[in-house]
Amino acid sequence: MLKFNYYGHACFQLDDGKYKVLFDPFLTGNPAATIKPDKVEADYILITHAHGDHCGDAYEILERTGATAVGIPEVTDFGGANVKAVGMNLGGTLKLLFGFVRMVPALHSAGVGGGTPCGYVVSIGGKIIYFAGDTCLFSDMKLIGERDKIDYAILPIGDHFTMGIEDAAKAVEFLGAKNVIPVHYNTWDVIKQDPEEFKKLVKNAAVHIVKPGESLEM
Ligand code: NI
Ligand code: MN
């Protein structure tokens, strides 16, 4: 059984019962965080870009857990330090112990020179999960949904730094996702959103509103 454990903002863990895959660890200084960086578990850490609200605690968790980081090379370059990292790039598919990770585009800034932001399509626990990272709406989301049948789309809805609720609802349509989990909202006032309003806008998909600290069986 696959579990989505939400730690607040864009940080969550997918747990297939054997492997724990952590996404965008930002816990220190995250007002929505529900776990401390010295407690969170990970076998892999997938990072979408180098903004602090996505990779702030990555290095510390990598060092402590011995987990392997996955990301754009410029983003996972921790200065030759003693942590495991697999650099990959857009369009690439990486086979890992739990399934696969396909790196897909995101339209945003990278947070580091020479880098680019990304999203991920992940096969784990018999499900296909798409995590958009930070992005605006873009029409190639249709291609992402054609390539893999998406069971769960995890999308930012906070607006200001990413798409807001109207565009995220359109993204669900483009992706053809069966289920949606909104993230990257209500961490600060600037990305304040009502997820119930998002729910009303989404057609033909189930919207799961998961609060920080809560889990969802996928
Ligand atoms: Ni960002
Ligand atoms: Mn962000």
Q: Where are the domains of the chain?
A: 3-217
Q: Is 1 exposed, middle or buried (0-12, 13-18, 19+ CB in 10 A)?
A: exposed
What pTM value is reported for the model? 0.98
Mean pLDDT of 144-161: 98
Q: How far is the CA of 122 from the centre of ligand 2 (A)?
A: 20
- Residues near ion ligand 2 (CB < 5 Å) are 53, 134
Q: Please say whether the beta carbons of 132 and 167 come within 8 A.
A: no
The yes or no reply on domain 3-217 and CATH 3.60.15.10 is yes
- pLDDT tens digits, 50-60: 999 999 999 99
Q: Please say whether the beta carbons of 181 and 152 come within 8 A.
A: yes
Q: Please say whether the beta carbons of 108 and 136 come within 8 A.
A: yes
Q: How far is the CA of 53 from the centre of ligand 2 (A)?
A: 5
Mean pLDDT of 137-146: 98
Average pLDDT of the chain, as a whole number:
97
Tokens representing 103 are 């790196």
* Residue entry with tokens 């995590």: 131
The pairing of beta strand 127-131 with beta strand 118-124: antiparallel
The SS3 of residue 147 is: helix
Cα gap 165→170, rounded to integer Å: 9
List Cβ neighbours of 155 (8 Å cut-off, separation of 6 or more). 132, 163, 168, 171, 172, 180, 181, 182, 183
- pLDDT tens digits, 88-109: 999 999 999 999 999 999 999 9
Q: Please say whether the beta carbons of 34 and 12 come within 8 A.
A: no
